[in-house]
Structure 1
């Protein structure tokens, strides 16, 4: 039992040493090291204690007990300092949390292997299409011309197409961000088609049964096994409910959620790598862009979100039923995250409705285009909820000659301030007021710290004269020109504002199918004028004034008393102005942290200088027969100095990491 007892005692002593060492480290350095680092540092301290003690006490037999205790404490302190230095160096080289621990490594080994294979596959696709040179930080002058950019855009489109659903969706979203990518890239990426081979019916039936929680025959009287359409995320089947209602069932492809999450993780790592290594990645803010794209795609994968969007859009359209624009009504009790059951709108997508449109006649087609544009303006300016992708495939020409909107998996939402700024921008374009247009544009975008507002006003004035003046029929080119202007002046466009401009840029092609001679910019200008005129009618002005008075009434009631107190203070010489320095808590925290670091640095440096002086002193009172007081104090101050300096270094490195 002797050796076993020794091993047990050694293990207990090691555990207690590690716990004590971790507590000391947290207290002295103000950090919480991981268990692996703490264990390694404590073991290092234990290994150093023995040799160091032998060096300090060459003849233990001749040393009295007090001296031995002092040397032991000194040895433990020096070994602990060495371990602390190692911890600080490790924190600088490999910050805590930047590498997974052993448990995370064990749990995530399989997922990491899958991700690595997929990551390698994505890189091979990029290299196969000649994109490898853009993964490094060097500048590439070969894309300065339009033809070279067009060739690169074609290679990028093919690479994204080979990458699968997530990368196809990314390319489609980038095609709408003309503030981020050049026109050649936007044009090429817009050709990406979200199509896929249909999933066999037995797999779709299994998904429906699992989501409904009961046999499919108990829910649907009939369902067409051949899908109406098949995309990379879902496919749509015609069906009929037990009560005879014709519906369409949108079913998520089996396993697509896991595929998307894996690719989004890879995309996040790629974005972070490119942002660190390349200038173009930093300028585009790839990490933020990837995070926004991931949020949007996850929202699209949750069909309950589309259900809520359909209900909200239907409520908004119900305020103007005379326009004849509808969305399918969802069946709330039959909708889950992976299945959406909604009303079937019988009609033909505009892209394939040529003969039906011709039969309507020019006047009716013009009326439909006006109704669609006015509806979109209502969505944007009144309700703040709008369809972001009104391409011809998402607009149906119904059998009764009205229009239906499809695919509301992702809609745009803007707040009242953004709606007001956009309305002001339209009004300024309509009146050709470049100053008001510049002010409205700066409210729409993220304004930089420095901007030449006069140059922005001149550029906007030139754009208005070229594209929005009476007689101009440039259509959606005005939005591309506006995006170029935003990019040239380094204005950051929020995602929802970009979606707003994307809506009108996409809408132009849809309106052209309805009415080939339709002038989007001219109609928008006239709509803006009419809305401004309606806002200035006596009834509307009176209502606005009443609303403002109601909002100001509490302030107006308190104003006389406040003016009386101010006048009384002025009369008796008691009026004063108090200015609070560092009123912001963030400023106070920064100043406090700076003062603490300075104090720790000064105290640490002073303790170090005093330690050197005391250690160099040969005389002084004796603590024991062979140990003098001044060297003991010198070693103590040296330990204090090292700990304080290490704490300052840890604080500095943490700030750099943040």
Structure 2
């Protein structure tokens, strides 16, 4: 059964009202997607719509559809190489220029969340929002000690709509998994559930505040990135240090100030790999509205990390697997790549590994050998997903957030400096990290750090040993009882088999005699009937 049919009808009406069917020419869409255009035109809202010539119809449609649609628009806004300029200009506005909600509502929410009046909290509070996004909007203010701050407050009444939309997505994911092997290989339903948790966590600003403090700790004193300080926080409000900078997409400002865009792009990639492998804590929502650059010192600019609501972490095993996979791809060693994937448990036992390696070499090899201005991470990922579908590989859901972030990084890097060689920069970083992880001195040191825990655990060893012996004793008694029962059962089976053999032989003899002498069989059956009656009476 389709969940929330009224919500689906509402989304259909919005798409028809804004005439999204004329956004892209039908001949530029895949054949399977073209019926969607006919469906949009069939809604009565499309017949009387006056939005046909609205230059911002896509932006406004996504705003009306809600936070999840805005998030999708933000993701697509980083793909200048894939999205036509007229559409991209609308999607870019979704990064921080979504329709704001009323300032009086914002002030009420701030006062309730921080349990104080606005005048008590701030010496100045600016009514006009600095930015408005899918989940929250931001106002500038000043504390009573003169510090300039930004106040982030969540939108009212959006949690219910997000939950409802995710229930629709979950239904779509299950439907696709039933019909498409690729969806099953990707664990699409699990990915949707993971992303649901991520988005719902984004509504809790205490989580973002903790993430920001943790990221600030990792990059304290860094010459590459600055993380603002958080002053106050609650579930619906966060007050943080105000920064001065421009979005990473503002290349005109970089050129006007004489910034080295190649150096800036390299810093961005180093920061990303540092987050993934050194800290195992990476920013997973890297659209231009969340990544700024300082303009105070154009000769040595730093990145500024904002909106640390969606962060990613990997297990140690997944970290090592990803690093070794990337190195194998960079070295075009696809047999090694298959071996790594096999060790990670992603390949079914009956898979033809040689055929898989040939397919990876044929499709992915030429793509990764291209220069950065021709490299397409999204295309590479799609090829890998297609190979995973055909060879029934299972990609863990926890890595999908990293893959999504890689798409963001590619979009930002291509926009900032198209000639950047990501492979050349990443290879020494990954090689050094893998060497450190394999360093025996480091492993012994880590073991030494665990000795106190091992010694504390050793205190419980005698009682654990006694419990284990008692358990073994009880298990032995149980096994002996089970063995006797099995032996009795075997004996009964053997006796039954003998009776069956005797009865079968008797029937066979009786049948043979019946063929030769029917009257003799009749006499035998009469005698058996009499004996059976006597036996029953005696019982």
What TM-score do you get using the length of structure 2 for normalisation? 0.65
Task: State whether structure 2 residue 204 is matched by structure 1 residue 302.
Answer: yes
Q: 1:288-437 to 2 correspondence within 5 Å?
A: 288-318=190-220, 321-331=221-231, 334-362=232-260, 365-398=261-294, 399-400=296-297, 401-437=301-337
Q: 1:307 to 1:422 in 2, by over 3 A?
A: same
Match of 1:226 among 106, 128, 143: 128
CA–CA separation in structure 1 for the residues paired with 2:138 and 2:419: 34
Shift of the alpha carbon at 1:371? 2.2
Q: Distance in 2 between matches of 1:211 and 1:422?
A: 41
Cα pair 2:377 2:406 within 8 Å, conserved: no
Distance 2:311 2:118 in 1: 31
Alignment of 1:522-561 (within 5 A): 522-532=424-434, 540-544=439-443, 547=446
Which residue does 2:10 correspond to in 1? 121
What is the aligned partner in structure 2 of residue 164 from structure 1?
65
Compared with structure 1, are the counterparts of its residues 214 and 277 closer, same or farther at alpha carbon in structure 2 (3 Å cutoff)?
A: same
Which residue pairs with 1:484 in the alignment?
383
Asked if the contact 2:229/2:240 (under 8 Å) is kept, the reply is yes
Cα offsets for 1:489-509 (capped at 9, x unmatched): 323433331221222222133
Whether contact under 8 Å (2:373, 2:419) holds in the other structure is no
Residue in structure 1 matched with residue 340 of structure 2 by the alignment? 440
**Cα deviation, residue 416, structure 1:** 0.8
Residues 445 and 328 (structure 1 numbering): CA distance in 2 closer, same or farther, change over 3 Å? farther
Q: Is the 8 Å Cα contact of residues 166 and 264 (structure 1) preserved in structure 2? A: no
The residue matched to 1:437 in structure 2 has which SS? Answer: helix
1:473 maps onto 2:408 in alignment: no
The CA distance in 1 between the partners of 2:36 and 2:424, in whole Å, is 32
How far residue 387 of structure 1 moved from its aligned partner, in angstroms, is 0.9
Residue 147 to residue 325, structure 1, CA distance change in 2 (3 Å)? same
* Pair 439,241 (structure 1): closer, same or farther in 2 beyond 3 Å: farther
State the 1:474 CA deviation: 5.3
Structure 1 Cα separation of the partners of residues 74 and 339 of structure 2: 28
Deviation at 1:542, TM superposition (A): 3.5
CA contact (8 A) 1:486 1:492 kept: no
Which of 94, 109, 116 is residue 214 of structure 1 equivalent to? Answer: 116
Per-residue deviation, residues 496-553 of structure 1 (Å, max 9, x unmatched): 31221222222133234443431222222343344456668xxx5533456579989x
CA deviation after TM superposition for structure 1 residue 418, in Å? 0.6
Say if 1:415 and 1:231 are closer, same or farther in 2 by CA, change over 3 A.
same
8 Å Cα contact 1:250/1:339 also seen in 2: yes
Q: Which structure 2 residue ranges, 5 or more long, are not aligned?
A: 41-56, 455-475, 480-539
Alpha-carbon contact 1:271-1:286 (below 8 Å) kept: yes
What is the Cα deviation at residue 359 of structure 1? 2.3
Q: Is the 8 A contact 1:221 1:241 kept in 2?
A: yes
Q: How big is the alpha-carbon RMSD for the aligned residues of Structure 1 and Structure 2?
A: 4.5
Q: 1:461 aligns with which of 361, 386, 392?
A: 361
Segments of 5+ residues of structure 1 without an aligned counterpart are 1-97, 99-111, 133-142, 555-579, 584-658
Instruction: Measure the CA separation in 1 of the matches of 2:415 and 2:74.
Output: 23
Q: Tell me if the contact between 1:233 and 1:252 (Cα under 8 Å) persists in the aligned partners.
A: yes
Q: Report SS of the residue matched to 2:123.
A: strand
Q: SS in structure 1 opposite 2:240?
A: strand
What are the superposed Cα offsets for residues 259-287 of structure 1, whole Å, 9 maximum, x if unpaired?
Answer: 32343344445555666688887777654
Q: What is the alpha-carbon distance in structure 2 between the residues aligned to residue 448 and residue 153 of structure 1?
A: 36
Whether the 8 Å contact between 1:153 and 1:189 is mirrored in structure 2 is no
Contact in 1 for aligned 2:230/2:238 (Cα 8 Å): yes
Matches of 1:474 and 1:434, distance apart in 2 = 23
The secondary structure found in structure 1 opposite 2:257 is helix
Q: What is the SS of the residue equivalent to 1:392?
A: coil
Give per-residue Cα distances to partners, 1:164-184, cap 9 Å, x unaligned.
2244056459869x9xxxx99
Q: Secondary structure at the match of 1:360?
A: coil
CA distance in 2, matches of 1:391, 1:170: 10
**Is this contact kept in 1: 2:140–2:149, CA < 8 A?**
yes
User: In the superposition, relative to structure 1, how do residues 439 and 382 fare at CA in structure 2: closer, same or farther (>3 Å)?
Assistant: farther
* Alpha-carbon distance in 1 for matches of 2:449, 2:195: 42
